[in-house]
Structure formats: structure tokens, C-alpha cells
Structure 1
Amino acid sequence: MKNFTQTLCLFLLAAVNLFAQQEKGIIGTTNWLNNWTEFRPNHVDYGEPTQILSGNISQDTKLYKKDTYLLLGSVFVTEGATLTIEPGTVILGDFKTNGTLVVSKGSKIVADGMETDPIIFSSNRSVKKEGDWGGVFILGDAPINKFGNGSSVNYGLRPTSFEYINYGGENVESDSGIFRYVRIEFAGRRTKEFGFFNGLTLAGVGNKTVVENIMVSYCEGNAFSVIGGEFNMTQMVSFRSSSDDYKFNYGAQCHITNSLAIRSPYVSGADGSRCMYVASYEDKNEVDLTKKGTVVKAENLTLVNVSDNLASDIEVGLVKEALYIAQHASLEMSKSVISGFNPAVILDDHITINNKNLDRIKFSEMYFNNCNGNIFTEHNSNNEDLENWYGNRAFFNVYSKGSDSETFIDLANSKRPDFRLRINKIYASNAD
């Protein structure tokens, strides 16, 4: 009986520890990064293209795994057509012509890969680098907050009709298809006039669109750019992007869960970059403030800055904040991990610190680890009001100074890292 009781106690302890491990940051009883992600894409040879994609795809088309496709210039899916991509298919963006795929409003993409057979967008260069090609645009007719409820993506794209780069409308249930188990590598081409492309741009995308298990790695622009629309994102991964990992703007209504951003202080744009940027506009004069501003709900995110010497990198200015929240935008973040930043969060200096505004910016059940400060207002080193507010025990936020090796299961594995929290490494505290 005694042995049975001891065994039962050990089982219960293990179960409690497993639950404690999974409650903050990315979750999963196993490492869901396995099988479909690739953290060393510059070591992978995808072979030579056997088929070319160019111009407009104006009728239903299917791409097959047996072929390797080259995106030659700007390729548009138009006229309500559906582009279906078989699991395991490889599509290479052409360096010379800035290969780019645009799924126009009213058309669809069904890129439904598998955990063991993801769909891959990459560079056609033998030695691949950030910004080798454009990226992927998915455009829908869900609402945005600009005047007229519509806009366009320019970036120097040359469609045969201007309508192919339009997005936005009034259809919250807009369906742009399925984008699941997809990798996008070495995208984010820089253009002289329009700046950087993004790895994946989701503009005016509606809630019938499926966006799951997508990895953007080594992107010169933003990894994920969400412009307006209303939809869910789950199990996203941004790895070593030079610009922001996740950018939400222009009235985006987005629920992002169980997702990851891995930053390096040695990979950043000239203006610095963050894991997440939440705003409702770039220019206040182009939006209708009577419409919904950007609202992001984020649960079980892990935002981590992987540094060989964090204190030194902070001192020389290589590390910025993980999150930036602009005026008139809302963020509700819970059960998430922010580790290794300077500081964790910055609020735009136009945000007045009062109950009304802080009710729109919520942090609860968070794990702030090894950050040089937690939540600050831009250009203001005195964050006593914010510390008192978010440090209240009612929010259940936790603060720690653990090293990466103590905090995460296995960051040292370059092929299959595991960014879940280690068992028994969350200590209840409400102070630095």
C-alpha cells in the first residue's frame, strides 16, 4: 500500500509539473516545432526549377510536389481563381525579377501542407540571403479602418489591373483559402522606392481564412504583416527576421495563439526591430477613427531574444523592446513569455497613462524573464505607475532573471530547438 501511495504521489507530481510547464508560453505535450520547421534553411538544396509561374493565374490551377516552381516576377492569382498547392511542393522566388506571389481579392490559395510534408517558399539562389525575393501577399475584402474601407498594396508590383492589388471591404467572413504548414524563407526584398517587402502580408483577410502553422525565417522585412481584416492565427513562427516579427495595423482584429518569435541581437534592420508592433495607423489623417482600431488578443506566445552575452548586447544598443504599442491600438496578452529584451514593452508616448487606456492594454499571467525593465512609456525612464499597475497580484504576472538554458527546454539544438518552458522554472513573484 505504501509503494502504491508513493507511486500515485509521483504520478500526480509529474502531472502537476507538466501542467505548470505548459501554462505559459508556447504549449504542447510534445514539441510542435518538430517535423515541419527548418532552422537551417541555408543548408537545404531544393534543386533547380522545373516549371515557371509568371503573369496572371486566372483559372483554377494546381501545383504538384513532383515539380519545383519558379516565381518569375510578380505572379497574381486573379478573377476568382483558386491556386491549390500540393503538400511538399517547393516554390522558389526568382532573385533577378523579385519573384512575388499575390493572391488577389476574391481569389483563393489552398496551400494545405502537412506536418511531415510542408509547402516551402524559398530563394532560387545557390547562396541564399535575407531579402532574395519578394514574399507572399493574401488580399481579402474584410474591413480596414482607412477612409473608404479599401486600399492597395504597392511595393512596385506591376499588375495588369489595379484591382489585383486592392484589399479591404465589408465582408468580415471573407474567405481567402487555407495557408497551413507552410515555410517562407529568405523573403523581404528591399525596393528603393517602396522599402521592404514582408514575408507574409495578410491584408483585409476575413475569418473564413485558415492561417496555421506558418514559419517565416531570415526575412529582411517584417515576417508577418497584418493589415486590417479579422481572423485567427495559431502556431506561427518567426525566426531571425531583420524587421518586426509580427506587425498589426490599420484596424486589424486578430487573435494569435501558441506562437513564437525568435530574435537575435545580431540580425536587425537599421532602425531596429521588435517581436511585435501594434498600431492602428501610420498616418492619422488616412484613417477613420470612428471605425475599429487595431485589436490584438495574444495567448501563449513566446517572444525570446537569443544572445551570447545579453548584458553586453544591451549596453552597445543591439537589443530593443519586444513589444511596441501605439496610440489608439489595443492589446490583450496573457499566458505569454517575454525573455531577454530592453525593456519588455514600450507604450507610445502619446498614450496617457490612465485607467481608460490601461484597460485597452492588458498583460495577465505573463512571465517576464531576464529583461532590462518591464513596461515603460517611450522616452520616460520613470515607469513606477506602470509597474504598480501591472505588478498588482490580480494580474498574476511573474518576473524572473533566469538564463535561457534554465528557462527553456532546449535552445542549443540548432536543428530541433524546443522553446517550451522547463518544468519547475516559473517562480511566483511580483517584483524584479
Structure 2
Amino acid sequence: MKNFTQILCLFLLAFGSINAQQEKGIVGYNNWMSSWTEFQPNKVDYGEPTQILSGDITEDTKLLKKNTYLLLGSVFVTDSTTLTIEPGTVIIGDFKTNGSLTISNGSKIIAEGLETDPIIFTSNRGVKKQGDWGGIFILGDAPTNKFGNESAIDFGLKPSSYKNVSYGGDCPDSNSGILKYVRIEYAGKRTKEYGYFSGLTLAGVGHQTVIENVMVSYSYGNSFSVIGGEVKLDKTISNRCSRNDYEFNFGTQCKITNSIAIRTPYISGSEGSKCMYVASYDNLDKVDLTKKRTDVQAENMTLVNVSNNLTNDIEIGLVKEALYIAPETYVSLNKTVISGFNPAVILDEEIKINNKSLDRIKFREMYFNNCNGNIFTKGHSNNDDLENWYGNSIFQNVYSKGDDKETFIDLKNPKRPDFRLRINKIIASND
């Protein structure tokens, strides 16, 4: 009996070790990015389009895997219509006409791919580059903090009706559909008059909308832009975009979990390039601050900068902060990894460093690794107050200078990188 008990204990110990996982950063007993993602999309040939999508889609439509579709110009799903996309379907954005897809307010998209058969949005160019086509807009009737109940996106799109580009309302639980196991590649085209498209824009989207396992790669604009609404993001990936990986503004209420931003100084734009940008407005005169301010609750995120020579890249100005927090916002990061930035976090200079402000900005059980400084106010080199506040043991934040190879399981695998932390590699430090 004694021998049996010893064997059982050894088995349980071994089983627990095999199935252990690091609690900080993206989590999972297996690498959930290993099967449906593509980290080298420029090497994939998706074939030539066999069907064209253009103008307004005004009746329920299903896109089939057997076809390859071309987004020709501005395509709108309107009139309370549902666009359903089969797993494995490929939709190609046209370079010359700046192809884009807009799911208008009141309509839905059901793009529910499979782990073994994701849905692909990509470029139609032989040699694909960032910003080859526009991107995807999903518009709903959830609230924003702008004056009035409705606003409109304006990227030079050519809708047949203003309502096709309008968003916002008073329905936080609205449902704009499903994006699941979806890849969006080489979007974010820059326009002279309207700036950059984003890979995926969610404007006034309600919390019944499902956004899970969505990967945006090589966007020339932001990867994910969230404008107002009440949104949940789970297992989302921003891979090597030029501008911001995740941008939240205009009263967004967002919960984002188990998600990652992968940056590199050799692709990022020279201005406005951060993993997360959190704001409540661009122009104070255009928002109503009696409405909700932007509130981002993030847990188990990994914000990582992949560099061949981090010290040199910082010295020549290629590396910026991971997270920028603007005034009048609420931000909570929990069990999140920030690795390889200059510094980790910057607070806008208008944020007063006092108890009231810092109660709105929470960092708990964080892992700050290999950053040139941790949390600063913009334009100030002395961050003693912030270090003392967030360095308090009650927050359980950890600071480290670990090498990427020792910190992450397999960060530089070109096909199937694994950005989970190595088990038991977090060592507390006061540096």
C-alpha cells in the first residue's frame, strides 16, 4: 500500500508538471496559435478570384469555400442582411479599387471559421505588402461618448446611403455577428484625405457580438480599432502592424483576454506605433463626458517587441512605449506581460499623479521584462512616484531583464512561434 501511494504521488506530480502553465501573459496548456494562424502569409498562394463582390449586398448571402471572392471597391452589407461565410473561404481585397467590406448598422456577419479551416481576408497582389487593401468595418448601435446618438465612418467609402456608414445608438447588448478563426492580412491602406484604414474596425459594436481567434497581420494602419460600443475580444492577435495594434476610443467598454500584440522595430511606423492606445476622445469639444469614458479591462495579454538588437534599436529611436494612456480613461491590466519596450507605459501629461487618477489606472500581477523603464508620465524622466505606487507589494508586479530565449517558449520560430512564458521563469526583481 505504501509503494502504491508513493507511485500515485509521483504520477500526480509528473502530471501536474506536464499540464502546468504560466499564469501571466497568454495562456493555454497548448499553443492555441499553432494551428489556424499564418506568420508567413507572403509565402501562401491563395489562387485567383472566381467571384466578385461589389456594391451593396441587400439580401442574405452565403460565401462558399469552393469559390475565391474579390472585394471590388467599397462593399456594404445593408438592410438588416446577414452575410455568412463558410469555413475555409478566401476573400481577396482589390488593390486598385481599395477593396473593403462594411457590415452596416443592423446587419450581421457570420464568419465562423474552424481551427482547421480558418476564413482568410488577404491581398490580391502577387507581392503582398502592408496596406494593399482597405479592411473590414463592423458597425453597430451600441453607445459611444460622442454628442448625439449617431456618427459615421469617413474613409472615402462610397455608400449608396448615409445610414450604411453610420454607427452608434443606445443598445449596448446588440449583436453584429461572429468573427471566429479569421485571418486579416495586408490591410490598412493609406488614403490621402482620410488617413489609414485599420485591419478591423469595430464601431458601436455591442457585447453580444463574438470576436474570438482573429489574427490581423501586416496592417499598414491599426490592427484593431474599437470606437465606442461594448466589446469582448478573446484570443486576438496583432502581428507586425505598422501603427497601433489595439486602439480604443470614444467611450469604448472593452474586455480583452488571452490576446497578443507582436511588434518589431523594423516594420513599425515612426509615429503613433504602440501595442495599445487608450483614449476617450481626440477632440474634447466633440465628446460628452457625462457619458461613459473609455474603460479597457485586459487580462492575460502579451505585448512583445521582437528585436535582433534591442539596445541598439532603442538608442536609434526605433522602439517606443508599449502602452499609451490618454486622459479621462479607465485602464486595468492584470497578469499581462510587457517585454522589450522604451518604456513599458506612458501616461499622458494631463493625467495628474494622485490617488484619484491612479485608482483609474491599474496594473496587477504584471510582468515587466527587458524594458527601458517601466511607467512614466510623458515628458518627465523622474517616475519615482509611479514606481513607488505600482511597485507596492500589494500589486504583485514583477520586473525582470530576461533574454527572449529564456523568457518565451519559442519566440523566433518562423512558422509556429510560441509566445507563452516558460514555466517558472519569472524571478522577482526590484530593478
Smaller-chain TM-score range? over 0.9
Distance, in Å, in 2 between the alignment partners of 1:46 and 1:396 is 47
1:147 is paired with a residue whose SS is coil
1:423 is displaced (CA, Å) by 1.1
Provide closer, same or farther for how the CA distance between residues 309 and 6 of structure 1 changes in structure 2, counting only shifts above 3 A: farther
- Letter of the aligned partner of 1:90 in structure 2? V
Deviations 1:294-350 (A, max 9, x none): 000000000000000000000000000000000001101100100000000000000
1:25 is paired with a residue whose SS is coil
Q: Which residue of structure 2 lines up, in the alignment, with residue 412 of structure 1?
A: 412
Contact 2:270–2:318 (CA under 8 A) maintained in structure 1: no
Contact 1:18–1:423 (CA under 8 A) maintained in structure 2: no
Q: Which residue of structure 2 lines up, in the alignment, with residue 151 of structure 1?
A: 151
1:11 is displaced (CA, Å) by 4.0
Contact 2:98–2:132 (CA under 8 A) maintained in structure 1: yes
1:112 is displaced (CA, Å) by 0.5
> Superposed, which structure 2 residues align to 1:103-252 within 5 Å?
103-252=103-252
1:18 is displaced (CA, Å) by 5.0
Provide closer, same or farther for how the CA distance between residues 364 and 18 of structure 1 changes in structure 2, counting only shifts above 3 A: farther
Distance, in Å, in 2 between the alignment partners of 1:43 and 1:22 is 32
Contact 2:22–2:424 (CA under 8 A) maintained in structure 1: no
Contact 1:92–1:122 (CA under 8 A) maintained in structure 2: yes
1:428 is displaced (CA, Å) by 2.6
Distance, in Å, in 2 between the alignment partners of 1:4 and 1:400 is 40
Contact 1:77–1:107 (CA under 8 A) maintained in structure 2: yes
2:388 is paired with a residue whose SS is helix
Q: Which residue of structure 2 lines up, in the alignment, with residue 385 of structure 1?
A: 385
Contact 1:17–1:423 (CA under 8 A) maintained in structure 2: no
- Letter of the aligned partner of 1:249 in structure 2? N
Distance, in Å, in 2 between the alignment partners of 1:4 and 1:267 is 56
Q: Cα RMSD (Å) of the superposition?
A: 1.3
- Letter of the aligned partner of 1:341 in structure 2? F
1:148 is paired with a residue whose SS is coil
Q: Which residue of structure 2 lines up, in the alignment, with residue 305 of structure 1?
A: 305
- Letter of the aligned partner of 1:354 in structure 2? N
> Superposed, which structure 2 residues align to 1:53-68 within 5 Å?
53-68=53-68
1:10 is displaced (CA, Å) by 7.0
1:427 is displaced (CA, Å) by 1.2
Q: Which residue of structure 1 lines up, in the alignment, with residue 321 of structure 2?
A: 321
* Same amino acid, percent of matched pairs: 68
Provide closer, same or farther for how the CA distance between residues 132 and 350 of structure 1 changes in structure 2, counting only shifts above 3 A: same
TM-score normalized with structure 1 length:
0.98
Contact 1:50–1:68 (CA under 8 A) maintained in structure 2: yes
> Superposed, which structure 2 residues align to 1:281-360 within 5 Å?
281-360=281-360
Q: Which residue of structure 1 lines up, in the alignment, with residue 32 of structure 2?
A: 32
TM-score normalized with structure 2 length:
0.98
Distance, in Å, in 2 between the alignment partners of 1:359 and 1:318 is 32
Q: Which residue of structure 2 lines up, in the alignment, with residue 76 of structure 1?
A: 76
Contact 2:340–2:370 (CA under 8 A) maintained in structure 1: yes
Q: Which residue of structure 2 lines up, in the alignment, with residue 268 of structure 1?
A: 268
Distance, in Å, in 1 between the alignment partners of 2:323 and 2:10 is 41
1:35 is displaced (CA, Å) by 1.2
1:420 is paired with a residue whose SS is strand
Distance, in Å, in 2 between the alignment partners of 1:74 and 1:262 is 29
2:300 is paired with a residue whose SS is strand
Q: Which residue of structure 1 lines up, in the alignment, with residue 13 of structure 2?
A: 12
Distance, in Å, in 2 between the alignment partners of 1:405 and 1:383 is 29
- Letter of the aligned partner of 1:42 in structure 2? N
Distance, in Å, in 1 between the alignment partners of 2:242 and 2:36 is 22
1:67 is displaced (CA, Å) by 0.1
**Structure 1 gap ranges (5+):** none
Distance, in Å, in 2 between the alignment partners of 1:4 and 1:208 is 49
Provide closer, same or farther for how the CA distance between residues 362 and 13 of structure 1 changes in structure 2, counting only shifts above 3 A: farther
Provide closer, same or farther for how the CA distance between residues 382 and 248 of structure 1 changes in structure 2, counting only shifts above 3 A: same
Distance, in Å, in 1 between the alignment partners of 2:13 and 2:378 is 46
1:208 is displaced (CA, Å) by 1.0
- Letter of the aligned partner of 2:317 in structure 1? G
- Letter of the aligned partner of 1:59 in structure 2? E
1:22 is displaced (CA, Å) by 2.6
Distance, in Å, in 2 between the alignment partners of 1:287 and 1:302 is 31
1:204 is displaced (CA, Å) by 0.1
Contact 1:22–1:29 (CA under 8 A) maintained in structure 2: no
